Structure 1
Amino acid sequence: MVFNAIAVWLLIASVPLWIYRWFLFSRLTARERLMFKRLVAQRHESSFVFAVRMAGYLIALAVAVFFVVFGLQYLKYGNFGITTYSDTIRSRFYSGIEPVDQALDSYHYDQMLPVAALTTILLVTVAFTLVTAALRDISLIRRLQKKVKKLAS
């Protein structure tokens, strides 16, 4: 539940960040754009590779937690008892918009717990990657503009 809310807020925050990033990028000259693209390609990790690595870490962590929890449940009760997400987690994140809430119920809350955890991990990964990539680019563009301004004067 908490991770779903974090992912939604990160997705909401990514929209103005990407708008601001594209605004700053559009104000660059052709030479500055080329320098920016070269800096991103040479010095920074690809956003896709970062997202895959982050998703891998989160999936490994989730598998370890599931292994411990379901292992302890098997030792205590003699079965794994994997249930749906809605049976395990009672609180839900509703938007108040009926079609969105129905989609959340069918695609997330009614899924088996490991599948719901994987969808949450993927949502958090995408949202976090969008925010960090936008912040990285904004920071890089601003530093590039300062250095070009120093060289020009």
Structure 2
Amino acid sequence: MSMSIFCVSLTLVLSIFSGTDGYFYHMMRQCRYSSKDLQGIELITSYVFNQAEYIRFNSTVGKYVGYTEYGVKNAEAWNKGPELAGELGELERVCKHNAPIDYSAILDKTVEPHVRLSSVAPPSGRHPAMLICSRNGS
């Protein structure tokens, strides 16, 4: 099977509900693979409060970026502290470590898609025929 472009994403989510007023916090970590040799691997860790992402770490950027006033303050502190080194370590510890499992569970079990083209008469009389393309499989 030849595969020119593919992307696998492993996502870990930590959610915390706080109090009766409905505050909601979650952290989501994604490992994105664009090649089997792990050269294009990317780690993204997002921190969300009440459905608004306020800070994100992206291994391609190499640092935390804040999206709210609170997130910008945290990003400045975390980029100067041990949090940055810890997050860079997650790329190795989580993403690269789990890559063989992800590939064997997902990519190695994919099949080539089946594509079928057909010409049909359209429901209205404006055009003499319609070309329909349908795909089954991966």
- TM-score, normalization by structure 1: 0.25
Greater percentage in helix:
1
Greater percentage in strand:
2
- TM-score, normalization by structure 2: 0.27
Q: Which has the higher contact order (CA 8 A, sep 6+)?
A: 1
